[in-house]
Amino acid sequence: MSRTHINCIVNGEPTDFLAADATSLLDALRDELGLIGTKEGCGTGDCGSCSVLVDGKLNCSCLILAPEVEGREIITVEGIADGDQLHPLQQTFLEGAALQCGICTPGFLVAAKALLDANPDPTETEIRYGLAGNLCRCTGYDKIVRAVQEAAVQLNSTSKQGV
Amino acid sequence: MHYVAPTTVGEACSLLADNPGSRVFAGATDLVPQMRTGRLEPSVMVDLKRIDRLMSVSHADGRWTIGAATPASDLTHNAAFTAMHPGISEGAGLIGSDQIQNRSSLGGNLCNGSPAADSVPGMIAAGARAVIAGAGGERTIPVADVVTGPGQTSLAADEFIVEFEIDDPAANTGDAYLRMIPRTEMDIAVVGAAVRLTMDGDTVSAAGVVLGAVAPTAVRVPAAEAALVGSSLDDDTLAAVAAAASAACNPIDDKRGTIEYRTQVAGVLAKRAAVIAAERAQNGA
């Protein structure tokens, strides 16, 4: 099968890879680039496990054909930490035990980052609607919502200190 | 399967004409799952998102022009459009999650041919038009004439929708879209109802009523429109609207909603949407 050469930026690094045209971005990230943080849940755009940012917008990578990302900028869960310093969302998920099996967690982290980037001080209802595209079968969501609330508080206090 | 990303409408037309079995796509939120299950095996996937005209939202000469591949979130986050056509915006805003909103397009939502497509009733109620490109050039038809049955459209195999045209509403016009689903989020409409009203004081001077998910295609309800025009939305009128909406239903019976349930809820939603549309019309929404 012929493969297409694709150039894009992944987690800030100019990247290129080869993929068959029918390959999903999800499979390309995992199998061609070794970025296995992004998970496949349903493969049909319902569960949000494979969430990534494409040009800053939240997307299901299972619904994107790999050649579509030519020239685009992609952020995966591997790209949200600052070097060895976990993103506040990652830290509050850990401290609040906002995960059990962990398959949905990378998608929740990326979706929650997109949510807080757009709305730094969301209400609980806004968080629940904002994360409606991410399914978790373990936690019952409550600890996830609390972790996002705590991360928002931390991020807001950090940004105020910065000013 | 080969992937191609033309940058002009003409190039896309040539690709479709030259490649039997090719499909255009925008968000692919319906097409990719169909490809993964083997239900759809396109020879060529023609990505329309690199064509500027299909990815733009603009307002000029008394109408909005919306690129058919534009993600729903570009429309719902457009404050000027949402202020003028709140019912269309709220319909588009109900298509799936934020992830899906950033991909799904009005063109795809329409051409997928689902009777439950949330953005379609509001567009039909607004008299929206679809500009269609093909090998023979471009033609413009009412959105209401695009879908002919579940998964079926009136477009030829080498045609696709370039953009939608939505005229600015008359003064004192408001619209609304309501949808019934068994959950609070992320489900397919059991019933959808769009109502657009123009008010002259407390009296309705023009009305559009369109239902989704209760027939093989979205359906206009002329009897409900007739009951509304000339009325002041009194209880008798609203009862007549509900009865007319229920009478227009020819729904499927499935796990989401029985025929009886869908038929009754269609009446309730039409009535409620009419009240919201009238409020918006009178408040200059």
- The answer on A99 and A66 residing in a single domain is no
Which helix (DSSP H) or strand (DSSP E) does residue B103 occupy? none
Chain B residue numbers touching A113 (CB-CB < 8 A)? none
- The answer on A46 and A113 residing in a single domain is no
In sequence order, what are the residues at sequence separation of 6 or more whose Cβ sits closer than 8 angstroms to the Cβ of residue B260? none
Within a domain: A107: yes
The β-bridge partners of A73 are A9
Number of structural domains found in chain A: 2
Structural domain of A23: 4-79
Task: Answer whether B8 touches A (CB < 8 Å).
Answer: no
Among residues A79, A98, A123, the one where a domain terminates is A79
Furthest CA-CA distance within chain A:
54
- The answer on A32 and A61 residing in a single domain is yes
Nearest to B32 among A48, A63, A115 (CB): A63
> Are A111 and B98 within 8 A, CB to CB?
yes
Within a domain: A163: no
> Are B49 and A22 within 8 A, CB to CB?
no
Question: CA–CA separation, B177 vs B197, rounded Å?
Answer: 12
Among residues A35, A57, A79, the one where a domain terminates is A79
Give the three-state DSSP class for B199: strand
CATH number at residue A122: 1.10.150.120
Q: What is the pLDDT of residue B183?
A: 81
Q: What are the pLDDT digits (tens) for B169-205?
A: 999 999 999 999 988 777 889 999 999 999 999 999 9
CATH number at residue A26: 3.10.20.30
User: What's B27's DSSP letter?
Assistant: S
- The answer on A92 and A41 residing in a single domain is no
- The answer on A92 and A71 residing in a single domain is no
Closest CA to B100 of A123, A66, A44: A44
Among residues A48, A79, A110, the one where a domain terminates is A79
Q: Which domains does chain B have, with CATH numbers?
A: 2-167 (3.30.465.10), 173-282 (3.30.390.50)
Within a domain: A152: yes
Task: Answer whether A134 touches B (CB < 8 Å).
Answer: yes
Q: What are the pLDDT digits (tens) for A67-98?
A: 999 999 999 999 999 999 999 999 999 999 99
Nearest-CA distance from B90 to chain A in Å?
15
Q: Please state the pTM of the whole predicted model.
A: 0.95
> Are B36 and A43 within 8 A, CB to CB?
yes
Q: How sure is the predictor about B258, in pLDDT bands with cuts at 50, 70 and 90?
A: very high
- The answer on A101 and A123 residing in a single domain is yes
